[in-house]
Structure 1
Amino acid sequence: MSKSNMLSKSGKIWLGKLVAFAKFHLIIAILLPLLGSILLIFQLWILSNILNSVFIDHVNRDYLIYPISLFAFLVIMRATIAYVQELYAIKASETIKANIRKILYENLFANGHMWTRSQVSGAIASSIVEQVELLDGYFRKYLPISVSAAIIPISFSILIFYFDKIIGMILFISVPLIPLFMALIGYGAERASSKYLDSFSWLSGFFADRLRGLMTLKLYGCEERELDSVIKASNDLKDRTLSVLRIAFLSSAVLEFFSAMGVACIAVYVGLTFLNFIHIGKDQINLQLGLFFLLIAPEVYNPLRQMALYYHDRASAHAAVNKIEELFNGLPDLDGSMTDDIKIHKKTINEFTIDTSILISARNLEIKDFNSNKNIVNKLSFNILRFDHIALTGVSGIGKTSLLESMVRLRPYDGQIIFEGYDLINLDENILRKKTFLASQRPYIFQDSVLENIKIAKPEASRTEILEAVRLSLVSDFIENLPNGLDTILGKEGVGISRGQIQRVSLARLFLRNPDFILLDEPTAHLDQDTEKRLFKNIIDFSQNKTLVLITHSPFIYKKMPIIWHLDDGKINNSL
């Protein structure tokens, strides 16, 4: 978020551009209340005429059937208009929110996993789910009623001024005071909403982090201290929530005060004029005209009352946009969802028919540490030929994993990487993922069955293909011991199986995917010696006619690989 609590000019423009996602539905949602207000004038005039006919003219009720029927028809029409308006407003809001979430997801992928690692997961989830949801009230309620509040009070005041200048003047004086005081309150509302979202985002990340580290907290006896921290943060969120509610009630109270005063002044003036205690103007007000004034006066203020009711939705929307802008270091581009500097130029699969013995080539490659911004790989150049099998070694933290991640565009880098004759930066994402596979040292396991965790690599895979991948990865060694075999549901991050078993599930994805370029980060870590040998044999057999780069600290694997690269001080020492 910007340092100011108020929405920036760019934020207001961005919020305005969101209307384009549901322009038609929003236009209908805005125009229908205006149509309803026109019908309201006729409805109130007919009602005042009916009452005047009954109590003053003593008209027979048989003559009132038509005006009463017309009055009932107008009531039904206005109720129908209100219902349809609500449907269109909901549709507009849901369409806009769906598009925003899609754009934010695209930006998450565009920014890459290194960016997401540096963010609090709770803040990202809060931004995409909770803060986008805060825009609902703005588009569904505030925006349609704000247009009505700008048009209806002025239009009604001009109409009443035509009949009676005194009542018209009362309205012209009292109506502008309401938005004036609402604007003053609005600054406090945005600031309170911003603080609320700060607290909510922080608490989301804090709570999720403590849940993940619950075992560590328990082992070190810190659970009571952290519980107190959670309680303190929850109370802070409660206080900020109440601050938002206080301002919402205050804005409503201010409006109710001025609208009540305006209606009261009109009622006193109409009553005294009707009783002939005061006489200003040419004609005396009759019962029909007096009733019409009294009935329409509250309706002049009604759009403003509704706008005040939903004014906190505007403040919440502004605060949410500020939070999105802060999290993503700028608001996402709504035209292409990603800014020009991170858009990927699309290429077709036919362009990958160039015959070359070099699969991947790096020139002056530099990779920076994400935290310190220092080079961990410096001016590195190398070639990887097709069907090479390379073991990449080096001390921990030297940059081996970073190098592998850069070769599949999962980590930002300077310099140039050429993949099959094309700049890696410009490769189509789908083509790159189809041709490459990276098995990380800490693979992520979803809270789903073992089968679905493997099948994610190839959703359309047959049962036979999956079983073959299970066999090659040695998942078959332990799957029969699980309660429901492949259908056993695992907990988040693989709770229910060991680290070595998680690694084998990850390699099952490799065997199912069948890529051309394989990158493995410590694939046999956490395995016993016998399992390591069997799994490594399957990897080598599977990698025939494929290119393999493998990070390892295992002496057994180190000795079996035909090409060994030793990464030291950002440079590669090649040994055969």
Structure 2
Amino acid sequence: MRARQSLRSARLADPSPDSSSLDPHVSTRILAGRLWRGYLARYWPGLALALAAMAVYSGAQAGFAFSVEWIFGGLSGEEGAPSLGAVARFAPVIIIGLAVVYSASLYVSTRLTARAALSALRDMQNDMFDKMTALDFAQLRGQVAGQYMARFTNDVTVLRETLTRAAKGVRDAVTFAGLCAVMIYYDAVLFAAVIVIYALVGVFVARIGKLLRSASRKAQEQAGDLTALIGESVSGARMVKTYQIEPLERARASAAFDERLSVLLKMAYTRALNEPVIFVAGAAAIAVIIAVVAARIGAGATSFSEFAGFLTALVMLSQPGRGLGTLNAVVQEGFGAFERILSLIDAEPAVKTAPDAFDLPPGPGAIRFENVSFAYADGSKAVAGVTLDIPAGKMVALVGASGAGKSTLMNLLPRLYEPGEGRILIDGEDIAEVTLRSLRARMALVSQEAVLFNMSALENIAFGNPAASRADIIRAAENAAANDFIAQLPNAYDTPLGEGGANLSGGQRQRVALARAFLKDAPILLLDEATSALDAESEAKIQDALKRLTQGRTTLVIAHRLSTVKDADMIVVMDKGRIVETGTHDELVERQGAYARQAALQLV
């Protein structure tokens, strides 16, 4: 037990997905290996065909250089060269043929690499979403939603550009190698002069890449913050307009946009150095070549037609050379995004099913909190030494001021959090030793904010039991007093409810959530301020539905309005994470303690 509690405390100390992110200085080689093994390798047949097409593409480019030598030899009348008639007859056919091979191989390689890259990104998004849904409640709350959204949108977009350019970079590398071989074939001395210049440029390009990778990580983080800010402004539009804080929101946005501009300009300025440096290197190479080739031709070491072929290869080398030069910058930006993606994929849930866990056996739903304590990652204690027995089939209400620990205690029951000390039992079984699936299958939750999705009413209710029939869903809606208004929707149960149930009123959203709980038919019911934000008419309908829902179920209720829990079998008063009073409404009023004082203010 002590070992388990220590493990729980260690996990709770650092709940954010970013806490498990990769070392920010992890090498490009390691990241590239992870990208290949984890995502691209599964598409190796298509990539192998693409590589073959790239080789054909490279061969076609080399063919152009040899064709130029052959044509110039014939035109200049060199000894052993073809006749002018042969050049006239065959040169157009050769050039057009090489162009067709070049274009076809380019299309095939581009299509195959694009399919592999986009499929790998799809797999990556699936892995991210799977991990995000597997993370526990504390970890998800440890980061703003915008940062998660940025991983799926901005980071994936940056990585997509990198994969696209990387595929082109492989093609450029194959072409570069082929053209280098052609240049060596024509004149190794001239080639040596060229390659020294490019090697010196490579050192400078690598330095640019390191700067861009660091800036890219910062840019992706800013994108997440910006997404969160815009999301807050849209979702909080009602408050923004009512309180007339548009100037404040504009100022926040303007500051964020300025900060992003600063980082993006730094990236743009750094990236802008690549092309000029490579262009100067190319000019320097040509200058050296002109000087060397004059001496070589004068000494009879090379011919004009051979130089024409060499120069054609060199000119054609500039395009893949520039591509490879700028590739490093794009790769470093992409790997900055990939690191953030991996920080989510590699995150481990702090709350998970133990290897030797067993399914929670069927039972009436008796609950026991046994000396339970819980502290958040910052060390603040939310629950301290709570011991509480909730008999099966009874309703227990948790009351107290905000921050007293009521919601935290409830969240410990389905293991949304792990207690740092103590244990929780359901029908005598420690919930840490049973599977999460079987534990949560025994519970239904109705909270203050009804969580609805932009799906049909039928699908929103069916979350309670995905295997339920349409008749079962309608019956659950009837029990929750939701059938009447759902039937009046344009397409009845097949009507989309809008984002967050925006097409419904607050009371209607809550009744859909209640229908979901009816459909689940779980023995344990968790009600977290289920009626606190409703008008009188909606509350009356929901209270009536709740009476039906709670009948025969073990029910844990959180309420600020004491009128809603007067009839509970037991009322638990909490303060600063501790239980200070327990009893029925009448018993607590007679004691003249904390509950009685609160009741005197509310129940008049």
TM class by shorter chain equals 0.7 to 0.9
Alignment-mate amino acid for residue 251 of structure 1: N
Residues 67-107 of structure 1 show CA distances to partners (whole Å, capped at 9, x for unaligned) of 75455444333322222221232223223322322232233
Tell me if the contact between 1:19 and 1:96 (Cα under 8 Å) persists in the aligned partners. Answer: no
Residue 164 of structure 1 is aligned with which of 187, 197, 200? Answer: 187
Residue 470 of structure 1: aligned partner: 477
Match of 2:11 in 1: none
- 1:566 paired with 2:573, answer yes
Kindly provide the amino acid, as one letter, of the partner of residue 88 in structure 1: L
Residue 156 (structure 2) aligns with: 132
Within 5 Å, give how 1:96-245 maps onto structure 2: 96-142=120-166, 145=169, 149=173, 153=176, 156-157=179-180, 159-245=182-268
Trace 1:29-44 onto structure 2 (pairs within 5 A): 29-30=50-51, 32-44=53-65
Give the corresponding residue for 2:67: 46
**Residue 575 of structure 1: aligned partner:** 583
Q: 2:345 aligns with which of 332, 336, 343?
A: 332
Contact 1:248/1:311 (<8 A) preserved:
no
Letter in 1 for 2:469: S
Q: Are residues 383 and 13 of structure 1, via their aligned partners in 2, closer, same or farther at CA, if it must alter by over 3 Å?
A: farther
Over 3 Å counting, the alpha-carbon distance change for 1:30 and 1:414 in structure 2 is farther
Give CA deviations for 1:139-181 in whole Å, capped at 9, x if unaligned. 23226616854x6646644553454243122223122123112
| Aligned position for 1:406 | 412
Deviations, residues 475-518 of structure 1 (Å, cap 9, x unaligned): 24555676665555545434344433332221121112222322
CA 1:36–1:187: 2 relative to 1, 3 Å: same
Shift of 1:322: 4.7
Residue 398 of structure 2 aligns to a residue whose secondary structure is strand
Equivalent residue, structure 1, for 2:298: 279
Contact map agreement 2:444 2:525 (CA 8 A) in 1: yes
Question: Residue 258 of structure 1: which of 273, 281, 287 is its match?
Answer: 281
Partner of 2:327: 310
Alpha-carbon contact 2:71-2:87 (below 8 Å) kept: no
Residue equivalent to 1:19: 36
After superposition, the Cα gap between the structure-2 partners of 1:341 and 1:457, relative to the gap in structure 1 and judged at 3 Å, is closer
Distance in 1 of aligned mates of 2:106 and 2:438? 50
Kindly state the Cα deviation for residue 131 of structure 1 after the two structures are TM-superposed: 0.9
Q: Which amino acid aligns with 1:388?
A: K
- The 1:439–1:283 alpha-carbon spacing in structure 2 relative to 1, beyond 3 Å, is same
1:522-549 Cα distance to aligned partner (Å, 9 max, x none): 2232345675455444334344453322
Larger CA deviation: 168-177 vs 488-497? 488-497
Partner of 2:336: 319
Q: CA deviation at 1:305?
A: 0.9
- Per the TM alignment, residue 251 of structure 1 is displaced from its structure 2 partner at its CA by 0.7
Structure-2 separation of matches of 1:533 and 1:340:
40
Q: Distance in 2 between matches of 1:243 and 1:116?
A: 32
Report the CA distance shift for 1:404/1:68 in structure 2 as closer, same or farther (over 3 A). same
Report the 3-state secondary structure (helix = DSSP H, G, I; strand = E; otherwise coil) of the residue aligned with 1:221.
coil
Alignment of 1:365-384 (within 5 A): 365-369=372-376, 372-384=378-390
Alpha-carbon distance in 2 for matches of 1:131, 1:353: 41
Residue 115 (structure 2) aligned to one of 70, 91, 100: 91
Native 8 Å contact 2:481 2:545 kept in 1: no
Q: Could you say what secondary structure the match of 1:560 adopts?
A: coil
Aligned to 2:101: 77
Paired AA for residue 22 in structure 1: L
- Note the alpha carbon deviations across 1:329-381, whole angstroms, 9 max, x for none: x5633xxxx54865534789xx54746666444433222246x5322211223
Partner AA of 2:298 in structure 1: H
Distance 1:83 1:419, change over 3 A: farther
Identity of aligned residues (%): 23
Contact 2:359 / 2:439 at 8 angstroms: preserved in 1?
no
Pair 1:32–1:386, CA change in 2 (3 A): farther
**Equivalent in 344, 349, 353 of residue 344 of structure 1:** 353
1:561 is paired with a residue of what secondary structure?
A: coil
Deviation (angstroms), 1:570: 3.1
Give the aligned residue type for 2:583: S
User: Residues 355, 504 of structure 1: CA spacing in aligned structure 2 closer, same or farther, 3 A cutoff?
Assistant: closer
Please, which of 426, 435, 453 is the counterpart of residue 446 of structure 1?
453
Cα distance in structure 1, aligned partners of 2:154 and 2:530: 38
**Alignment correspondent of 2:6:** none
SS at match of 2:453: coil
Q: Distance in 1 between matches of 2:428 and 2:298?
A: 93
**In structure 2, what is the Cα distance between the partners aligned to 1:340 and 1:522?**
28
2:401 aligns with one of 385, 395, 400:
395
- Give, in whole Å, the separation in 2 of the partners of 1:359 and 1:218: 48
Partner-residue secondary structure (3-state), 2:555: strand
Q: Distance in 1 between matches of 2:89 and 2:114?
A: 38
Q: Is the 8 A contact 2:351 2:415 kept in 1?
A: no
| Structure 2: 5+ residue stretches without partners | 1-17, 585-604
The answer (yes or no) to whether the contact 2:403–2:576 under 8 Å persists in 1 is: no
Contact 1:142 1:311 in 2 (8 A): no
1:126–1:204: 8 Å Cα contact kept in structure 2? yes
How many angstroms does 1:130 deviate by?
0.9
Give me the whole-angstrom Cα distance separating, in 1, the residues matched to 2:525 and 2:324: 59
Whole-angstrom distance in 2 between the partners of 1:105 and 1:521: 27
| CA drift at 1:293 | 0.5
Aligned residue in 1 for 2:532: 525
Name the SS for the 1:405 alignment partner: helix
- In structure 1, C-alpha distance between the alignment counterparts of 2:277 and 2:67, rounded to whole Å: 32
Q: Secondary structure at the match of 1:298?
A: helix
Unaligned runs of 5+ in 1: none
Letter of the structure 2 residue corresponding to residue 279 of structure 1:
G
Question: Deviation of residue 255 (structure 1)?
Answer: 1.0
> How many residues align structurally?
556
On the 8 A contact 2:147/2:221 being kept in 1, the answer is: no
CA distance in 2, matches of 1:560, 1:11: 64
Between 50-59 and 467-476, report the one with greater CA deviation: 50-59
**Correspondence 1:424 to 2:424:** no
2:521 is aligned with 1:514: yes
Structure 2 counterpart of 1:392, one-letter code: L
Give the match's secondary structure for 2:212: helix
The secondary structure found in structure 2 opposite 1:237 is helix
Looking at structure 1, the residues matched to 27 and 68 of structure 2 have their Cα atoms a distance apart, in angstroms, of: 49
Are the structure 2 counterparts of residues 339 and 120 from structure 1 closer, same or farther at C-alpha, using a change threshold of 3 Å? closer
Instruction: State the Cα distance separating 1:286 from its structure 2 match.
Output: 3.9
**8 A contact 1:6–1:190 mirrored in 2:** no
In structure 2, the CA distance between the partners of 1:97 and 1:383, relative to structure 1 (3 Å rule), is: farther
Counterpart CA distance in 2 for 1:353 and 1:410 is 17
Task: Give the letter aligned to residue 574 of structure 2.
Answer: L
C-alpha root-mean-square deviation of aligned residues, in Å?
3.6
